[in-house]
Amino acid sequence: MRHRLLLIASGILLLAACESYDCTLYNAVAMYGTIYKDGAKVKLNDTLTVTACGTDAVLLNRAVGASRLILPLSYWQDEDTLVLSLEGADYLLRDTIWVTKSNMIHYESPDCPTKYFHTILGVRSTHEFINNITVIRSSVNYETTDNLQIILHPSPEPDPEPDPEPDPE
């Protein structure tokens, strides 16, 4: 009797262990980028909106104080076109970023949804307010480390002090 009870308990534990597979439901596959200006990480004082060109998808809506971007990538095309709109009190700047990538299916279990991982092959922009974009980690997966360094145009140098006019003597 004791042997039978132990066998039933073992079977229940085994079935429970198989059913509790962690499907990483809370993990998202996203591209991470940090914003730099004049060699340092910065927070934008202006409003930033990021949209996916060719769709009605708003990936980041009117963020103020943004210093890091977390953006999803598509799984059906080899290049994503992202439009960044930077809006200040009296101006609106738009820069377009093209992210060329490969897409790979990531399969964990029959109980879990299929995800897509990406490898960034190249990035370019229109350079309106972005000076340069550097790929620092090409693999886009569940990791939350930066993939891109987004470097804004440097701040203009302060105007030199005007020469004082010579005293008439």
Sheet holding 79-87, edge to edge: 58-64, 47-52, 79-87, 92-106, 115-125, 139-140
In angstroms, rounded to a whole number, what is the distance separating the alpha carbons of residues 124 and 100?
9
- Does residue 17 surpass a pLDDT of 50? no
The DSSP secondary-structure symbol of 23 reads -
In angstroms, rounded to a whole number, what is the distance separating the alpha carbons of residues 51 and 61?
8
The predicted-structure confidence for 48-106, as pLDDT tens digits, reads as follows: 999 999 889 999 999 999 999 999 999 999 999 999 999 999 999 999 999 999 999 99
Beta-strand runs (E) in the chain? 31-37, 40-41, 47-52, 58-64, 68-71, 79-87, 92-106, 115-125, 130-135, 139-140, 148-152
pLDDT at 3: 58
Q: How confident is the model at residue 18 (pLDDT cuts 50, 70, 90)?
A: very low
Beta carbons of 106 and 114 less than 8 angstroms apart: yes
Q: Give mean pLDDT, residues 134-146.
A: 96
Q: Where are the domains of the chain?
A: 41-152
CB burial of 38-48 (b: ≥16 within 10 Å; e: otherwise) equals eeeeeebebbb
CA distances from 66 to 36, 39, 54, 58 (A): 11, 17, 24, 15
pLDDT at 150: 98
Q: How confident is the model at residue 24 (pLDDT cuts 50, 70, 90)?
A: low
CB burial of 11-34 (b: ≥16 within 10 Å; e: otherwise) equals eeeeeeeeeeeeeeeeeebbbbbb
- Which neighbouring-strand residues pair with 42? none
pLDDT at 135: 98
Q: How confident is the model at residue 114 (pLDDT cuts 50, 70, 90)?
A: confident
